[in-house]
Each structure stands twice: as structure tokens, then as C-alpha cells.
Structure 1
Amino acid sequence: MKVAITGSSGTLGRTVVDHLRAQGEEVIGLDRTGPSGPGFTTVDLGDYGQTLDALHGITARHTGVDALVHLAAIPVNGLVPDATTFHRNMVATFNVFFAALRVGIRRIVYASSITAMGFPFTEPPPYLPLDENHTASFNTYGLVKVLEETMARELVSWDPTLSVTALRFTNVVAPGEYATFARAAEPGYRRDLLGTYIDARDGAQAVTLALAETRPGFEVYAIAAPESGNDRPSAELAESWFPGVPLRRELGEYEALIDTTKAREQLGFRAEFSWREEYRG
């Protein structure tokens, strides 16, 4: 495939680019900044004209792409004022989705987020382990993610050939960024993430699998490592952090509090990288 990737210079984006190229795909990176060369073009996704033109074709880059991976965003609340986070991220995603629809791209995979599941969980989740059936937002970044999913559900009803896959990533950790796991034994470590994390290389694997398994319609998948990033037993964590919240099943000793069964069964996703090996090894 020829694949356009927005946010290609970010932590996850760089890894997805490398992973897809290693799989033999032709990749066109689209971002505000990035490496010079034939695989990258500077694009302001807040400008619909630029976005439409970039997906339609770029001289010396491509004359059209087969698929789109949308990762570009202000990545967290706090980097800019809250309203700015909302306006920039929401407009960019609308521009990307709508431009893709206009130019005939029918295979879209994009980064949703744990923030569409209730992060930072000051309000307890309704059950654990949490899965894709629960949606809630408590900051402007998360609100955008919820609205993006709503927009995707609507857009696929406009065109029966359109496929949009939302990957609800938890905190993405790049190789070499595992130093904070020195705090893994602390009682509150990663509570706002339900204890979860995902290695960027496993995140890239999820994107690749989603591109390969797309079919018309909208699907959402939770993407996290299968083990907790906290060094305390998961049942103990659940009771300590969220007393009284029901468990849907008995938890494994260090089982993640986000359930990725759907991604495993439908996409074949299995995380390969563990903080216990990456940090301690």
C-alpha cells in the first residue's frame, strides 16, 4: 500500500513510519516538521486546502494514496490553553477525515485515546477491566476524542465502502523512555492511566494490523500492554484505587485494567514489549 501518515514526526508516528516501511509499504509523512526527503511533506492540517491537496497528490511525492493513518494532534492537555487544544485537534481531524472522503481514500486508521474512556478517572470507571463499551471524557483533549469517534461513525454511514478504525491508545512509551518505571512500586503510580502503558513498537504493530484488517464501517479498539505498569497485584490496585467498583472477572496477578480482548481476537494484536524487560533489562 501507499500510506499517508499525519503526525509522522511524533513518538508514535516515527515508529509507525519505520514499521510500515519495514513491511514494504510506501509511506508519505505529513506533519508541521519532519525530515527532509521524498518521504515527508510539511502540511498544516488546520488548513483544509492544504490537507485536501496533500491527500489528493503532491508533486514528487505521490498521486494518491491507498490508506490514511491519522496520528497528528496536540498530544495532551496543558501544552496550550484548553480551548486551543479543542479547536486545533477537532479542526485538524475534521479536515483530514473530510478530505480523505473527498479524494476517495476508503481506509482510515487513527489514534483515539484512553481519554475517551474517562481519563484521568477522578470519576471511577463503572467496571474493571475497562473495555471499548465505556465512553466518557473529562478534559478538552478527551472531548475531542469522543467527538472524533462520533464523527467517524457518522461518516461511514455516508459511504458504505468507507472503513474507519479508532485505536484507543493508552500512554505510549518509546524505547529509552522507561525511566519513570522506577516508580512502579509507588501506590499511585499510573493510577490516572488505570496502570496501563503501551510500547511505541506495539502501537505501530496495532496500526499495521488495523490497516490490514479494515472492512467497511467503524470499529474501536483499546490498545494497551496486557500487563499493568504498576508493580502491585492488579486486584489490590483495583480495590485501592476504585473501592467498590465491580470486577467482571478474576484478575491475573499483574493483568492490565484495560481489556484488549477485542483487539486480540479481531486484529490478532499481541503486545511484545514489557516494561519489566525494557526497564530492568
Structure 2
Amino acid sequence: MEQKKLRVLVTGVNGKLGGPTVEHLLAAGHEVVGVDRAPAKNRNIISLVADLTDYGQTHDVLGSVGWDILGDTVNGAFDVVVHLAAIPHPRMHSNSETFRNNVISTYNIFEACRRLGIKNIVHASSETTLGVPFSSDLPYLPLDEDAPLRGRNAYGLSKVVSEVVAAEFAKNDPELRVTALRFSYVQNVEEYAEYPEFADDIDYRIWDLWAYIDSRDAASAIEKALHYSPRGFETFLIVADDTAMPIPTSELIAARFPEVQLKRSFQEHETLLNTDAAKERLGWYPKHSWRDHV
């Protein structure tokens, strides 16, 4: 069945995930409007410049229809808002600024959607909500969406709080649908060239359970989430099927997590983050691996 073409607002269009997402959505036939603190690098979309930590600017761009001099703010201007804008890593800025930017901008997005009658939001969350950097006190493996939340640093805590904000907005509006995609370490193709450099260093990427997601697969997950119909708040782990290591997964676990409960056995290089929910409910499957490029 052909999917409906949608009018989509994407925040953070100039970011590492924003660019591939815009390209993927345009290729799928959607109308895309981009928001960032600078004009969109992609010249094929309408571009709006705004600071989403300012509520007035957020409300204005989420209600914008067109870019001519007569453009105005209206209710229901977009079918879906895809919220990718955020400080993407710990210690790029001070901890307090990371937390402030990510939480306030997310609240402003949800509040503006509430007031403007926008009922569909795709929110870029993170596997850091489950405890990155991961340590030996894991509840079980593979981790899934039911694992307890744990914000170990300002970035991870900002994502935990943002998920709580999203869940509470959804509780208060039975018509609202919030799909939170917990992306792992987003990687572009050119970054795979460095993977052989840490192939023998088991601890180099242990902080993330050796997980990653190709930016093209992350973008395809967002497009799948546009069409997800159940109302309410749901989270989905979006992770590549394999780890970033040439070492078999069973050996990684035996070396660093020997005491952790295993819910099932693992295939040779299988990821330690469970993506069954995204596959079964969103119909999303990752297609790309670093092994195809190295």
C-alpha cells in the first residue's frame, strides 16, 4: 500500500542525522520544512531559522505555512514534527547548557504542538537513557525498551527527562502520538574507516556496548515512524544488527559482563541492544553495516 505523503517539519536539519533524514523524506515524496539555528544546507526545502529554546520562536515556526511575505501562523500547519535538534554529545558544551538546551527545546516543541493542534511527533531520543556509559551493573542483556531509565551524565539525563516530558504530554492528550526513537551512536560511511584502528581494543567502545547505527538506517526509521498510527507514547531502540567489533559477541560478554543475566543466546556479532520492537511494530530493519565498507 502506498504511504500517504505528509507535510513534515524537521528540527536540527543541519545536524549529523538531520541531513540524511531530509534526503530520505524528500526521496519518499514528503514535503519537508527545516528548522535550525542557521539556514538549511539542503536548498531543496523551505528553511526557517530559529532558537528552539525560545518558546515564541518555536511556536512561530511550528505554525508557519509558506515563506512569502503574507505567511502567518496557523493551527495544524504540519502533519508530523520530527524533533532532532539537540546538543548531540556530552561535553560539547557545559553540562548545565547541554541539559538546559535539550530539555527546554523539547518542552517548547511539545507545548507548541499542543497549542497548535499537531498530534504526531517523532522524537529523537537515545540509548543513553538506559545508562551510557554502560557498566557492569546492567540488569540483563540484550537491553530492551523495558530496561530501567538511568541518566549517567548531563546528556543522558536530558534525554531521560525529555522522554518523561513526552510521556506526560501523551497522557494528557489521548489523541497525541509520540514515537521516541532511541538512536545509538549515529555513524556516517566515512567514519567506518577508523574501525580497524580499535579492532583489538575491547574497551574502546564498551561505553556504548559496542553499538552504532548507520545514519541512512536512522533516517529510514524516522520515515517509518511518520506512519506509525497508535496513539500515546512509545520508545524504540534503533541500532545496527551487529556490534562495532570483529570479536564475537559471546566473547565480548564473557570478557566484560560475565555476571549479567542473558535473556537469550547471541549470534556471532549480534548487537547487545534489542531492536525486536522496532522491527515488529514499526516494520523497520537496518540494512547497513560497517563491515560492508571496511
| Structure 1 length-normalised TM | 0.96
How much does 1:203 deviate? 0.0
Q: Equivalent residue for 1:44?
A: 51
1:264 is the counterpart of 2:279? yes
CA deviation vs aligned residue, 1:79-115 (integer Å, no higher than 9, x gap): 1111111111111110011101110110100111011
- Paired residues, number: 279
The answer to whether the Cα contact below 8 Å between 2:136 and 2:256 also exists between their aligned partners in 1 is no
Establish whether residue 111 from structure 1 lines up as the match of residue 124 from structure 2. Answer: yes
CA distance in 1, matches of 2:28, 2:200: 38
Report the 3-state secondary structure (helix = DSSP H, G, I; strand = E; otherwise coil) of the residue aligned with 2:178: strand
Aligned residues of 2:82 and 2:123 also touching (Cα < 8 A): yes
Which residue of 190, 195, 208 corresponds with 2:210?
Answer: 195
Q: 2: distance between equivalents of 1:246 and 1:238?
A: 10
State the one-letter code of the partner of 1:138: R
- Other-structure match for 1:7: 12
SS at match of 1:177: helix
1:60 is aligned, of 63, 67, 75, to 67
Of residues 187-196 and 35-44 in structure 1, the stretch that sits farther from structure 2 once superposed is: 35-44
Judge conservation of contact 2:136–2:260 (CA < 8 Å) in 1: no
Check conservation: 2:13, 2:40, Cα contact below 8 A: no
Q: Secondary structure at the match of 2:272?
A: coil
The reply on whether 1:228 has 2:228 as its aligned counterpart is no
Unpaired segments of 5 or more residues in structure 2? Answer: 1-5
Shift of 1:184: 2.6
**For 2:264, what is the secondary structure of its paired residue?**
coil
Secondary structure, counterpart of 1:41 in structure 2: strand
| Secondary structure of the structure 1 residue equivalent to 2:107 | helix
* TM-score for the superposition, normalised by structure 2: 0.91
Alpha-carbon contact 2:32-2:46 (below 8 Å) kept: yes
Query: Is the partner of 2:134 in helix, strand or coil?
Result: coil
Q: CA deviation at 1:58?
A: 4.7
- Tell me by how many angstroms 1:186 deviates: 2.1
Q: In the TM superposition, what are the counterparts of 1:1-281 in structure 2 within 5 Å?
A: 1-35=6-40, 37=43, 38-60=45-67, 64-134=77-147, 135-182=149-196, 183-278=198-293, 280=294
For 2:53 and 2:167, how far apart are their aligned partners in 1?
22
1:228 Cα offset (Å): 1.0
RMSD of aligned C-alpha atoms? 1.4
Percent of aligned pairs sharing the same letter: 42
Opposite residue 204 of structure 1, the aligned amino acid is A
Shift of 1:188: 1.5
Alpha-carbon deviation of 1:159?
Answer: 1.2
Structure 1 residue 153 displacement after superposition: 1.1
Deviation at 1:214, TM superposition (A): 3.2
CA contact (8 A) 1:239 1:245 kept: no
Q: Are 1:8 and 1:34, in contact at CA under 8 Å, matched by a contact in 2?
A: no
Q: CA deviation at 1:179?
A: 2.2
Secondary structure at the aligned position of 1:96 is classed as helix
For residues 162 and 213 of structure 2, the distance between their equivalents in structure 1, rounded to whole angstroms, comes to: 22
The aligned amino acid for 1:69 is V
Task: Rate the CA distance shift 1:13–1:214 in 2: closer, same or farther, 3 A.
Answer: farther
The farther-off stretch of 60-69 and 130-139 is 60-69
Structure 1 position 20, deviation (Å) = 0.3
User: Retained in 1: the 8 A contact 2:212–2:239?
Assistant: yes
2-structure distance, mates of 1:252, 1:224: 15
Return the alpha-carbon distance in structure 2 between the equivalents of residues 238 and 119 of structure 1: 17
Structure 2 CA distance for aligned equivalents of residues 136 and 35 of structure 1: 34
